[in-house]
Amino acid sequence: MSNIAISLENVSKQYRLGVVGTSTLRDDITRLWAKIRGLEDPTLKIGQENVLENQTEQKYIWALKDICFNVEQGEVLGIIGKNGAGKSTLLKLLSKVTTPTIGKIKIKGRIASLLEVGTGFHPELTGRENVFLNGAILGMSKSEIKAKFDEIVEFSGIGKYIDTPVKRYSSGMYVRLAFAVAAHLEPEILVVDEVLAVGDVDFQKRALGKMGEVSKNDGRTILFVSHNMTAIQTLCSRAVLLSKGQIVEIGKVDNVVNSYLKKETNQSLKLVWNDNNNCPGNEYFSLKSAKIIPENNSPVITVETPLSVEFEFINYTPEYNINLSLHLLNAYGEKVFNVLTPSIKLEKQEYFYAKCKIPGNFLNDGFYTIELMFVKDVSEVLLHIKDLLSFEVNDIPREGLWVGKWEGAVRPKLYFKIYKKN
């Protein structure tokens, strides 16, 4: 364990829905006696899967099941998964907010946790008083906290409100101060949940930069939960993918993120609606079909594959000037491009066809989604269809030995050549 900061051995967490104790005094005493003897709780039902989205009459669920992994000192580990996968439960176990039902957790060093807005803060105390309170909880002396105090206040950006009771803080102020305290009071292990999403964009950048700095320069261990895959890939070296309370994959961050995105992205290349009552639309338009067609109908789309995106629709508008707006988004929800058709007047109750060509050697590898807008006079959106089509662009073998992620939103093949100078 010399180099290991955190070790989890067959960790499971079971919850009993709607009940704190057991149903009888006898069971409560039996459970207590088993705990004293170091035995497993005899009142628990074993094997119930954590599927919160399904209605069930079961009184017990496994929020986590058989979790095993180690985190090395100085490592930044990302934890990802859908809502309900068990991420927050795992962080609560590591932060000692709750205890595992089964298994062992070994931790080497002091932990500072940022799990929810306001965790560890007393609402009646001022910001200043809460800084000293949290420092004391981490085992720091008053002089150590004083030495870091000005730096904490400056980073949080709430200087003139530092002597105001924190119950009067906004959620953004709360999380800025809480993060500043957790990052600057030098815990060996920093546990951060999705709470950074509360802050503004500037603060999020500074917070991510600070976590990278304390990990690289100070050798502190960080566990980071986020739905922002860009942040996970930027900050973390490894990642754990959770689903239904179990580990699906653990390994290099890019590999795990790609697996997660692939599972969450349902490829949809062709949609056709024969029934006018069920097709996407409104009083202005009815979309009859939407298709992504790879050149030569290739079964796999690569970075070299040219694509055609085709639409068929019925127009119900009077003689408006109409254009279509196609938006391409990557797996992180970032817009790669927006392309428009010329505006034309469409005849009412007639079928129309639109086609957009995306050349090969243009898109980078990854997952993409297409949105479509019907726009009047290049200004008024009459119909907006989100998450219409989705597809994956795969990488191809490259020259040389380098196989890392090709950076950039796009991947154009431009004229770029070395010449010998005469």
User: Could you report the per-residue pLDDT of 124-183, keeping only the tens digit for each?
Assistant: 899 999 899 888 877 778 888 899 899 889 888 888 899 999 888 887 788 788 888 877
In a domain? residue 383: yes
In a domain? residue 173: no
Work out the pLDDT band at 54, boundaries 50, 70, 90: very low
In a domain? residue 174: no
Which CATH number does the domain housing residue 310 bear?
A: 2.70.50.60
| Average pLDDT across the chain, whole number | 82
Q: Cβ distance 85 to 73 under 8 Å?
A: no
Q: Is the pTM of this model over 0.75?
A: no
Is 257 in the same domain as 284?
Answer: no
Whether pLDDT at 383 is above 90 = yes
Is 308 in the same domain as 202?
Answer: no
Q: Report the first-to-last Cα separation within the chain, whole angstroms.
A: 62
For 314, the domain range is 270-393
Is 286 in the same domain as 337?
Answer: yes
Q: Which two tokens stand for residue 52?
A: 């919160």
Domain boundary among 215, 238, 263: 263
In a domain? residue 219: yes
H helices of 37-82, in order, are none
Which CATH number does the domain housing residue 61 bear?
A: 3.40.50.300
Is 310 in the same domain as 205?
Answer: no
Whether pLDDT at 414 is above 80 = yes
Out of 29-33, 226-230, 241-245, give the one with best mean pLDDT: 241-245
In a domain? residue 143: no
**Packing angle of the helix pair 142-156, 171-184 (nearest 10 deg):** 140
Torsion of CA 197, 199, 200, 201, to 10 degrees: -50
pLDDT of 56: 47
Q: How many domains does the chain have?
A: 2
Q: Cβ distance 204 to 212 under 8 Å?
A: no
Arithmetic mean of pLDDT, 287-312: 91
Higher pLDDT, 401 or 145: 145
In a domain? residue 53: yes
Work out the pLDDT band at 384, boundaries 50, 70, 90: very high
In a domain? residue 422: no
CA distance 120 to 144: 19
pLDDT in tens, 187-213: 788 888 866 655 566 777 777 777 778
Higher pLDDT, 386 or 181: 386
Is 90 in the same domain as 234?
Answer: yes
Torsion of CA 125, 184, 202, 175, to 10 degrees: -30
In a domain? residue 366: yes
Is 244 in the same domain as 333?
Answer: no
